[in-house]
């Protein structure tokens, strides 16, 4: 699906975190829809290193870029010598997806260095190149604020959310001081193809889908029909990013559907798609504090970017189901 009339002819597009979930989807969008553009994929590919919580330090995986024909650079956004390799390019657009996106990482120093300090370095690069910056912010900036979550009312509850809110504040400062074109997109609960290599941090859609295909009943907290999230399909995330190039507007925008659904809905829709009829395996929620409802206020996103969510949860899962099957057969089964 093509979201813009902008052909990006003779334009250079830099995608950081391009071997990750959202970055790789953007790379293929531009390859397939904008063949006259030059696309540079920049990523710190995984080394096997893990944080103290046991999760990988990098989710970037070469398999997410199989078939990509653009330029690929292995580099760490926190290392100025790696970023300096980009100076030879006359970049027109930067899609900054690289970050520590694991909300359970407690190392505040590395979170701020990676998400905040490196962002400033990239903004300085964008300023030198007169490039438009579109970057990944997060619904985690809202923390425990009541729904619908609205720009300007934030209360992050972890260092990840704090780092993204800090990025948003810095972006506004650069726009005001230097007239830069910067768009921050606060993603809500994203799901879709190329997320498998996020391991435990992949969406509930994928995790429950793989459980069901493995012959196991979906496992959910008790009262999961009352736990609602704004689940947004990857194609709508790509849509919001691409539409951000169509306007000179700068600002922070929520990206979701504004139609929250329950974890139980996910399990039930998946069972329908996979033609199973397992009884849900319920267990006690181990978390003392747990957000029960998120809903993105997308009014300004629709008005100013022309964004319109295309996928309901049913439509998104239906579109995703064959890929979940492929992942199960190639990456999970018999492993």
pLDDT digits (tens, 9 = 90+) for 229-238: 999 999 999 9
Give the C-alpha separation, 310 to 162, whole Å. Answer: 30
Other Cβ atoms less than 10 A from the Cβ of 168: the count is 20
pLDDT classification of 104: cutoffs 50, 70, 90: confident
The neighbouring-strand residues paired with 185 are 136, 253
From the list 152, 30, 9, the residue with the least C-alpha distance to 95 is: 30
β partners of residue 149 = 296
Q: What is the per-residue pLDDT for 58? A: 82
Q: Is the pLDDT of residue 6 over 70?
A: no
pLDDT, tens digit, 9 for 90 and up, residues 286-326: 988 788 999 999 999 999 999 999 999 999 999 999 999 99
Q: How far apart are CA 5 and CA 289, in angstroms?
A: 45
**Given a cut of 90, is residue 50 above it in pLDDT?**
no
pLDDT reported for residue 4: 66
Q: What is the pLDDT of residue 8?
A: 87
> Cα–Cα distance between 3 and 245 in angstroms, integer?
10
Give mean pLDDT, residues 265-269.
98
pLDDT mean over 51-67: 89
- Average pLDDT rounded to a whole number, residues 173-196: 97
Q: What is the mean pLDDT of the chain?
A: 95
- Of the chain, the percentage scoring pLDDT greater than 70 comes to 98
Helices within the chain (DSSP H only) = 21-33, 80-83, 108-112, 118-129, 159-178, 204-213, 234-243, 263-274, 299-300, 313-327
Q: In this predicted structure, which of 208-212, 244-248, 256-260, 282-286 has the lowest mean pLDDT?
A: 244-248
Q: Please write the tens of the pLDDT for every residue from 17-33.
A: 999 999 999 999 999 99
CA atoms of 286 and 267, how far apart (whole Å): 20
73 conformational bin, left if phi > 0, alpha if psi -120 to 50, beta if neither: beta
CA dihedral 206, 77, 43, 1 (to 10 degrees): 60
pLDDT band at 3 (very low <50, low <70, confident <90, very high): low
Q: How many whole angstroms separate alpha carbon 180 and alpha carbon 109?
A: 28
SS3 73: strand
Comparing 247 with 86, the larger pLDDT belongs to: 86
Domain 12-329 in CATH 3.30.565.10: no
Q: Is 5 helix (H, G, I), strand (E, B) or coil?
A: coil
Is 327 within 8 Å of 196 (Cβ atoms)?
A: yes
Element (H, E) at 94: strand 93-96
Could you report how far apart the first and last alpha carbons of the chain are, in Å?
Answer: 34
Identify the bridge partners of residue 13 per DSSP, sorted by sequence position.
39, 93
Q: Range with the lowest mean pLDDT among 48-57, 61-70, 128-137? A: 48-57
Residue 188 has pLDDT above 70, yes or no: yes
pLDDT for 1 equals 67
Query: In the predicted model, what is the mean pLDDT of residues 79-88?
Result: 97
- Which residues have C-beta within 8 Å of that of residue 260, sequence separation ≥ 6? 147, 228, 229, 230, 231, 293, 294, 295
pLDDT digits (tens, 9 = 90+) for 128-156: 999 999 999 999 999 999 999 999 999 99
Mean pLDDT of all residues in 254-261: 98
Q: How far apart are CA 328 and CA 212, in angstroms?
A: 10
Flag whether pLDDT at 247 surpasses 80. no
Closest by Cα among 148, 161, 157 to 257? 148
Torsions phi, psi of 325, nearest 5? -60, -45
Per-residue pLDDT at 334 exceeds 90: no
């Amino acid at each position: 699906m093509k979201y813009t009339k902008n052909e990006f002819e003779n334009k250079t597009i830099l995608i950081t975190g391009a071997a990750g979930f959202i970055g790789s989807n953007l790379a293929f969008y531009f390859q397939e829809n904008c063949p006259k553009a030059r696309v540079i994929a920049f990523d710190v590919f995984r080394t096997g290193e893990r944080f103290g919580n046991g999760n990988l330090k990098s989710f970037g995986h070469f398999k997410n870029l199989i078939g990509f024909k653009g330029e690929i650079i292995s580099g760490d956004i926190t290392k100025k010598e790696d970023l300096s390799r980009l100076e030879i390019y006359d970049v027109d657009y930067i899609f900054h997806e690289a970050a520590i996106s694991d909300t359970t990482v407690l190392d505040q120093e590395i979170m701020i260095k990676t998400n905040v300090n490196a962002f400033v370095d990239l903004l300085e690069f964008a300023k030198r190149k007169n490039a438009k910056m579109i970057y990944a912010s997060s619904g985690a900036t809202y923390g425990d604020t009541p729904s619908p979550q609205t720009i300007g009312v934030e209360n992050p509850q972890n260092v990840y959310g704090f780092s993204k809110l800090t990025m948003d504040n810095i972006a506004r400062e650069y726009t005001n001081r230097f007239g830069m074109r910067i768009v921050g997109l606060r993603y809500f609960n994203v799901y879709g193809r190329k997320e498998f290599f996020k391991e435990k941090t992949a969406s509930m859609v994928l995790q429950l889908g793989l459980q069901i295909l493995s012959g196991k009943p979906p496992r959910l907290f008790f009262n999961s029909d009352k736990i609602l999230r704004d689940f947004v399909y990857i194609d709508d995330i790509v849509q919001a990013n691409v539409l951000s190039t169509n306007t000179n507007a700068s600002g922070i925008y929520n990206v979701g559907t504004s139609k929250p659904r329950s974890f139980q809905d996910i399990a039930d829709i998946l069972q329908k798609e996979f033609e199973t009829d397992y009884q849900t395996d319920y267990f006690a929620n181990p978390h003392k504090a747990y957000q029960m409802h998120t809903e993105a206020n997308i009014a300004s996103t629709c008005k100013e970017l022309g964004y319109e969510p295309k996928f309901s949860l049913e439509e998104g899962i239906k579109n995703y189901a064959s890929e979940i099957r492929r992942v199960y057969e190639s990456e999970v089964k018999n492993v």
